[in-house]
Chain A
């Protein structure tokens, strides 16, 4: 556990380092703040559809105990020809709802970073596989890019284009919040239900 100073005091952050064990994932609860270090792989619509349809992971990509980041970063080549991520916030995750649970199971994925939350199929998948959904701050592309220390590789760049490619990123203390845990609890379902009740009172 790490205590991160913020303007409003301290936030307790659980450190997650890839590869992550099922045991550690099972200790996480909705509302926990986490700081992720190690390697994450970006993957969004094209990658999920491809894997769902039976596509193989490219050589070099290992998702066992790993994390998929729903993100299409802005990446530019610097003067020395190295990739630099200049903006890298999460994209809306719900589009991967048809595919996510199956991909988690097939490849041993322990965490998915995205935004907006996911649905019942993914929540059930999290419980079954011992995985969590990690919510990053949507739009915070600069703050999050600062936690990406290196672009290690890129796959499917030609086929899918830059935003849809698999970028292998080294991250350090990447901040996120557990909003769907491996015990069947979803902050998104709770907030939606509560806000619907308030809405009905105010119509």
Chain B
């Protein structure tokens, strides 16, 4: 639940226990950058001057399916079964986080939300469960009790709506609970229907950001406390704000620099940080698409839906281990030989995996380190990347190269045009084109195709040692595969060397900065963000490419919580280009 860092504490008790619970945890698992001696001094004044070019803008975002699920689990406990389907996420400029600023709810989507809300409310208030969430007992089970209903709805509503409810809102909700109870002759049914209504309301399904005058900056605007708290929480934890954050928003202390830093460092120290980091990389790497990745079972018998799910998890575990648990260097993701495997994944990788027990519980995930001469190096050689950017029945150097440029370097590879003449490939017996390199060379002889293929294929050809499912191979159609390739003129001849080249590419790190900033604020970088991104890039380098450090820089920047007026936007400098 939202009120505890580690323990499931009944809703009715959590308000009182929250601070104590946090304090205890913070003392023993605080690992944030701010507590690190070598960084504490450097970060003592990280907020940049609030220039007009750095101010952001308020956005309205629809909750993503994960944010919905996390919010429900945090508010009501992890055992709640959602039992529904969400409207497809909208991806914009490479991120669902940006698409959520344009997403709405369709007619079939609202049906699903209504069904889910009713099922969730029933589970929350069913007889065996309600004791942990009800702050009071109704005077009678079969009659309205406005006072008790109000107490419950006020408490729950604060977490669902991520703000304090107005008296008018509460009055309407209590009236609904009373009237429904009057009809059903069941107090808890009346409450359940009202709770379901709250979960269908735009106030829950959308994150509304509100602005207010900034008393510290004449004429300036800023996000209000609750909007700031939600932006912080969804960025760092991918879930709704907890009690402490809402308290700080309600009493205004979140606007005070010291308290804001304290909250940020508390969140960085929390176990929930991993959830936020995973959500960002899941989004940036399009890993949600693994849900529908399918391969030909005749050609790739090891690639099952279970493998696809575990491949996604392998990548996220690798990222979480290096970036969060070890507070490591982002660039190491491209050169690491360490990973996590299950027996199922091991079958595809050709690696024997022996499971273990952790505190008496079987754990199918096992840390694994590849040998020095193994081609399995970094994220680019993991099944998730290799299989997602392949065809169902074969690999694709083009798709892999395109993915590297678009996902990791923030470059846009143009879509192929219509009316392409494929005569060269089509009129030639495929016997002459046994490998992808041969086929692509033939295809790229078309001048209109060569332009794009020359920026994608040389990258992907180094990964041709992995087939469409990500399995290792040395030959295709009996011909030894040539792994030579290049990225922006830098040559390599193996996946390991590709990983090295990618890790040293400054566009790769600046792309991460750009995407993280967009993910946090819900706005794609435009001309007004140039100075801010420059600052973040320099800070990221200075911080040793530590991702939690980057998150801290982002949220402590004025662009994260100050708001730009239209007039300010109009005088912002032009984009310098990327």
A, B bound = no
